[in-house]
Chains A and B, each alone.
Chain A
């Protein structure tokens, strides 16, 4: 770990000003559970930290009106326990509950959660591994290496690192919107546009400029979130990243599917919406057979690596089970 300067601005404006003035080697820190971890591994080596925990503008959960607003500094644990989330969006609450550990959830913020970095071991553990994300141009050790936990959707020749988070998978199923503020003012972007597929520039995870801060997450009120689940399969019963996960939500009208959302975790470089699987269900009954078919469709087009092809079958089953659980809540 390198020495660094530290600033703790009191409001959003001065935080942005500090960021804008500081330049490249600056990172903002919320809960620190991703950032400090990577700093200890010498993967992140910022010369300056801007601590945003003093920004009141980023706090609070607002459940009034026609959308749900979650401040970027809301702790994972607090959001997971929020009664409106539990009632209207069980998939959001479950995605948080099933992530990390209670200690981490007490510390970690929602904004930081969205921007957590990949668990790819070649990325995290530095020299001697080739890794384009950590060291652009050095190559990708994972493509021919230990890639059981890597992505078969959204990868490139340069990088196949899986996006590891759970919450963003549930958010993309709910078409959440992210409000960010930077030196050029405020803007909103769909959660689907927040994360970048690696392409030729895997070192850049998100479509944010260095002076931009996530202020809040907005989830439009909808009638599909209530019958939903976040179904996560992992290598142990708790405290592990997803091997495969599915966020599923469904609205049944007159016995057939009127609206359905399916998003996949653990298998893609970014939060992954399985739209063709959704399409296949619209207007049909949801039963074990159609759910299984949707599961199969969700994994069409996968480009499996040496060690992750089992996730095509496993994932299809997980999608099917998630749809059945979600429908059971309708």
Chain B
């Protein structure tokens, strides 16, 4: 492995987290706190006719019961991708409508959480139920061609050349369909809010990836000035996209707190999170690939059905990813959104890329067997320096390097290409598979502020959230190196709207947006010192420089935008809006890449799959914080394993909702599921996309793990799994 440019810095919040000192949003317990619990809908769709609150209110300790009749002053939320701030347009308890089973229909406030829960169960709710579509296969599901859907940010199908003719004329072809169940983020920290008022000023403690969006969103719903709202989210116990926008409980906590005149806490229990927030939508993807006899792709057709809700058109961007894997001379996609009665799906880590990679890279593997060509070689032959969609060059693309280094580290040359040919001492079938993943390189407008003090300490405040990915550690690493101070002298303030604006941190645009702003604000500081007449070159310590200005501290502000963005776009950040650019920039296109090599052992008699070994190589531009980057990558691979072999929501179409809505039954990997995971980074900066040379890492890490596993399973067993999650029964011989 190459030496990294940035030093190995221990995660700055590690010790506090291990000792349980870190306070997450709902760890805050202001005095006189009241607790909220929801009663949720037991029907699949319809409306609430009446809520009998008598016995609930009779319970000692119950403070109030809030139903849709009480919330008429509140404005409904709007969907993030339709110009609003929320995960969907529908606001439970703000109307009588029930859009899906498990939706909150009443909120009970009580002196203790236990009383609130008990009272919520005592509410007698009458409904009018209507027919609904819980799954993509339901008769009442409504398919809509995405290109024709009335979306605020319309998405075209991808069309390059005459793909159909190219496909039909190809010498070697694959035509396969791949399915994937809905999946849920399940961050350890539940979604929740602590709301309190001081006069007309509202303070929100909540683990969110989007403090800015929550501030403006809740102000809008309450009809108050955003200036009167502060959202504080310094630590998030995992977000993975589930906390990327305003959730149902936020406005209700704020409203209830104002009604009661005391702070209110609502924590949404795990089971309710399976029913009233986002998920990775279920998909069905048909891939048709054609190649010439030398293995060069000549054309690809890609049809996607992606689940959405009947409330919103959740964009399905699978095709934009799929079209970037290779240098296809011709490519055509057709995406349909299948409208169903579920909460609006959302962005779950590698939202489209996990599924798209599964389809494209499985099909490539199928093609490799038809061509009798090594899968690594097939991928090398179809690598490209030019983006086929836009015709622009890639700012950086080290896929070939990842393939070669990965193959060498993994020992790919020891692989016998014949399926079912490698057998372990205990009789397990051994399989080895490879796959690529990719993720768009985005960036957006960000503001930063820095204060350097006479005592040598530095505080930097920047628009980003610490979700456990190590953002703060990376910021401190960058600031320390740039200003020549010890990391321990630097503190960072993030996720708090009382400082600089806090735009949504997601889409792997956290570091790519924030680090350029951090570097800019460091430079601005040095310039301010120079303007104050201080000599800034040489070995003078920073504190001494500040002292020489005669002041106690120096503060500077700076901002940055992505390539090609008008600085005006900072205005969007200032109002809690999302404004990233990329992956297509003026003159170039940017993606991050992953290549995964996986070894599986399959017990032939049971179909049980184990994954003793994974080697993954990443091209994410400059590595800002080697240690947290490695953790991020290992975590992504673990999730990739879970997202392939374990995770999948089960729905009974007669009832709607999720049958396995808790983490005892919705399987996520346990330690025993995970073997050795070795990760490496190319660590080549990409200075075209931003001054820090960083491309995103957080999402790409899990993209491509799924097909690498199922390709390995095919190599082991000669059974092609085209539906996730993989279950034992799919590998029993008689099922083939």
Contact = CB atoms under 8 A, between A and B. Distances in A.
Instruction: Determine if chain A interacts with chain B.
Output: yes
Interface of A: 1-3, 42, 119, 121, 125, 127-129, 141, 145-146, 233, 235-240, 243, 310, 313-314, 317-318, 320-321
A327 B652 CA distance: 43
Contacts of A317: 605-606
Interface in B657-681: 659-661, 665, 667, 669-673
Contacts of B645: 236
Contacts of A2: 118, 121
Interface string B629-668: 0000000000000000110001010110001110001010
B598 to A, nearest CB: 16
6 contacts: A128-B655, A146-B652, A237-B672, A239-B672, A313-B732, A317-B605
Contacts, number: 74
Contact of A237 (B652, B673, B735): B673
Contacts of B646: 235-236
Given A128-B655, A146-B650, A310-B735, A233 B728 contact: yes
B330 interface: no
B454 interface: no
B608 interface: yes
Contact of B43 (A128, A146, A313): A128
Given A128-B43, A141-B654, A310-B735, 5 more contacts: A125-B659, A141-B655, A236-B673, A314-B728, A318-B605
B110 to A, nearest CB: 13
A243 to B, nearest CB: 6
A324 B646 CA distance: 29
B117 interface: yes
B424 to A, nearest CB: 15
B606 A318 contact: yes
B661 A125 contact: yes
Interface residues of B, number: 35
A1 B673 contact: no
B639 to A, nearest CB: 14
A313 B605 CA distance: 9
Contact of B728 (A1, A238, A310): A310
Interface string B607-640: 1101000000000000000000000000000000
Contacts of A321: 605-606
A236 B655 contact: no
Contact of B665 (A3, A42, A121, A127): A121
B734 interface: yes
B654 A145 contact: yes
Contacts of B117: 1
Nearest to B660: A121
A125 to B, nearest CB: 7
B377 interface: no
| 9 A-B pairs closest in CB distance | A237-B672, A310-B729, A317-B605, A238-B672, A128-B42, A127-B42, A121-B659, A237-B673, A239-B670
Interface in B25-69: 42-43
Contacts of A127: 42
Nearest to B655: A128
Contacts of B669: 236
Given A127-B42, A145-B652, A314-B732, A237 B610 contact: yes
A42 B40 CA distance: 14
Given A2-B118, A129-B655, A317-B606, A238 B729 contact: no
A318 B607 CA distance: 11
Contact of A314 (B43, B610, B672, B729): B729
Secondary structure of the A side of the interface?
Answer: loop
B691 interface: no
B114 interface: yes
B665 A243 contact: no
B262 interface: no
A162 B661 CA distance: 19
Contacts of B667: 235-236, 240
A314 B729 CA distance: 8
B655 A314 contact: no
A119 B652 CA distance: 16
In this complex, the member of B660, B671, B728 whose beta carbon has the largest number of chain A beta carbons within 10 angstroms is: B728
A58 to B, nearest CB: 27
A207 to B, nearest CB: 28
Contacts of B654: 141, 145
B404 interface: no
A119 B665 contact: yes
Contacts of A119: 665
In this complex, the member of B606, B652, B655, B669 whose beta carbon has the largest number of chain A beta carbons within 10 angstroms is: B606
Contacts of A141: 652, 654-655
A88 B690 CA distance: 67
B258 interface: no
A310 B660 CA distance: 20
B212 to A, nearest CB: 36
Contacts of A240: 667
A125 B43 CA distance: 14
A305 to B, nearest CB: 13
A211 B172 CA distance: 73
B649 to A, nearest CB: 11
A328 to B, nearest CB: 12
Nearest to B115: A3
A318 B606 CA distance: 7
A127 B610 CA distance: 37
A13 to B, nearest CB: 33
A234 B732 CA distance: 14
B727 interface: yes
B89 to A, nearest CB: 25
Contacts of B271: 125
A15 to B, nearest CB: 26
Nearest to B673: A237
Contacts of B661: 125
B612 to A, nearest CB: 11
Nearest to B659: A121
Contacts of A320: 605
Nearest to A244: B606
B728 A235 contact: yes
Contact of A146 (B118, B659, B727, B732): B659
Interface string B164-175: 000000000000
Contacts of A145: 652, 654
Contacts of A3: 118
A240 B645 CA distance: 14
A116 to B, nearest CB: 13
Nearest to B646: A236
B670 A238 contact: yes
A119 B650 CA distance: 15
A322 to B, nearest CB: 11
A42 B118 CA distance: 9
Contacts of B121: 1-2, 42
A17 B605 CA distance: 52
Contacts of A235: 646, 667, 727-728
Contacts of A237: 610, 670, 672-673
B604 to A, nearest CB: 9
A104 B660 CA distance: 20
Contacts of B43: 128
Contacts of A313: 732, 734
Contacts of B114: 1
A240 B672 CA distance: 11
Contacts of A239: 670, 672
A151 to B, nearest CB: 17
B668 to A, nearest CB: 8
Contacts of A243: 728
In this complex, the member of B43, B665, B734 whose beta carbon has the largest number of chain A beta carbons within 10 angstroms is: B665
A321 B271 CA distance: 37
A61 to B, nearest CB: 27
Contacts of A318: 605-606
B613 to A, nearest CB: 15
A1 B606 contact: no
A105 to B, nearest CB: 14
